[in-house]
Amino acid sequence: MCGIAGIFSKEKISLDKIYKMQESLKHRGPDNQSYIIDKHNNFALTNTRLSIIDLDNHANQPMKSEVNGNVIVFNGEIYNYKHLRNTLIQKKINLKTNGDTETILEGYNLFGEKVLNYLNGMFAFVIWDNNKKKFFCARDRLGIKPFYYLKKSNTFVFASEIKSITKVFQQEKNINNVSLLKSVKYGSIHQPDTVFQNIKCLEPGHFLNVNFNNDLEKFKYWELNDFLNEDISFDNEQSYYDEVTSKIYSAIKIGNIADVDIGSFLSGGVDSSIITKISKNSSNKIKTFNISFDGKSEEEQSKLISTSIGTNHFTKKFDDHEISNCFENFIEAMDQPSFDGLNTFLVSKEASKHTKVSLSGLGADEIFFGYEIINKFINAKKNNSIFDSFIDTLYKIKPNRFFQKSFFNKIKIEDFFLNLRILNFEESENIFNKDLINNNENLKMNSDILKYDNQSENLHKRIFHFEIKNYLVNTLLRDSDNFSMSNSLEIRPLFLDHELIEFVSKSLSYSKKINHKPKYELNKIYNDNFQIKQNKKVGFEIPLYKLLNENLKQDIIERLNKKDDIFLNSYKANLKKKMKKKQNLSEIKNFYIISKWLEKNNISV
């Protein structure tokens, strides 16, 4: 796991530029920082390394092939690299290291761009192809590892973090207004856009070729829909369960490869308990981590699970003062505005004191339909009632859980998608100064969100595709990488093994015919492995009222009183009223994060 960055230019590349990019990524790789500048071909590559596989210095990057002079910088882990390594050895290829970086480099020498089909893991890498005089840039299928880039007339720049690019190209800090709108409304930004106009994010399952003329070609090598469109069936429910269980076990076992001790985030819930249990069966060396807050938490459940498995368990309870004290560092670590992620930042901060890598159950809710609101929507679409119209009217007058089912039954799925993760229901003209956001930008925001809707006739497939392509990629995975690596910690979301995703996609129609219960596959595995009764899901998030304690409250009020070029005074006055009543705390927290992030990064709109 590393930080990577590089420049390919017709202009002379200064050492100062590549050094600044390297320094800005040091938190991602404190174990080694190296760079290479090729003056003849006018490119520079740098890597900051967090050593997890093959700890020897020979595995440091940038790494050069003795065969043809190709050079690689790589961020991530290839879980099946030993298998690929054996394939290369059988082809009489001489390998100098015992790690995964060299297997990608020499795999590219052998297979070319098709090497991507052989890789199982999370990755973002760039290979300088010395014969073709081009950069070959690739990102993993699900988008676990980030890849940002800037294409100018004479220069191509890439990095693991946006800040590494703006560090040397400060003139590129022009805000993308549509991205700002998305950030205010949804707390996230939709790829390939970023918060800045000219800096882009390479989409999951894609690769780029960039040559000396700065011609950029982008290709897709993996598509989720290909597997959703392929239905498979089974003789009976048990045969399906046996196969999906085998896929889950394989995904977890293969993701445990490392030359350092491995940790695991253990909330005490089904997902993290399964990952920890299977991982402990594969290796005796495992540490578990849990953080909690005053009020509802899964701290005791986590301890029970840890004791039953036999892990070295670490837990910490954060009080209000500690949370607010960490907030400054949280904003500092933020690559672009994000509503979520403080919980990941805090648990990563604690885990990094004891390990370099931690396993995570992230993605299980998207794959196995674990979100309550989504299951309510699906159930509402199954049954119609003669009372629906009447109850729909009542829901609009007084929204509550009792009337929600009928309301869901009446609305279009497109409207459900547009409102699923929304934080702010205000119309943009009631939020922003009029010269900032126009109606075209509102329309673009909606179209950018609905592009994740594959419009399948199968409702489960449609939601499955939308959740993975949108919320998982744009929010959860982005935050997971950003806030773990800011603490020099690698997070491995093992449920996002692409072979498991492909199997679940192809068997989705069958699995939902035999059982509609949320996450029934994982619940069955849990019950087969634990005697401990499951608690009701609490959710791994910080209670928002804790952010409104006296330590942060005054700063929020000052920002609401201060005139700026973005938010209308009337909107901020309305937020102050909500704050007094402790209403819409998510909206207030999001306003505060955006305001503080813009200030810290010296950005004016």
What distance in Å separates the CA atoms of residue 456 and residue 453, rounded to the nearest whole number?
8
Q: What is the dihedral of CA 319, 321, 325, 326, to 10 degrees?
A: 10
Tally Cβ neighbours within 10 Å of residue 580: 8
Burial of 111 (0-12, 13-18, 19+ CB in 10 A): middle
For 76, the token pair is 């991530």
For 302, the token pair is 């986590």
Angle at 598 between CA 343 and CA 177, to 5 degrees: 105
Residue 208 and residue 125 in contact, taking contact as beta carbons nearer than 8 Å: no
For 388, the token pair is 């629906």
Q: What phi and psi values does residue 35 have, to the nearest 5 degrees?
A: -150, 165
Strand partners, 207: 138, 219
For 361, the token pair is 């159950």
How far apart, in Å, are the Cα atoms of 471 and each of 420, 444, 446?
A: 10, 18, 15
| From 2, 137, 201, 326, the catalytic residue | 2
514 residue type, one letter = I
Tally Cβ neighbours within 10 Å of residue 161: 25
* H/E stretch holding 326: helix 320-333
Length reported for the chain? 605
- 2 in active site: yes
Pairing label, strands 71-78, 357-360? unpaired
DSSP 3-state of 263: strand
- Quickly list DSSP for 39-86: TTTTEEEEEEE---S--SGGG-SSEE-TTT--EEEEEEEETTHHHHHH
Which residue bears the tokens 């005791």? 300
Catalytic residues: 2
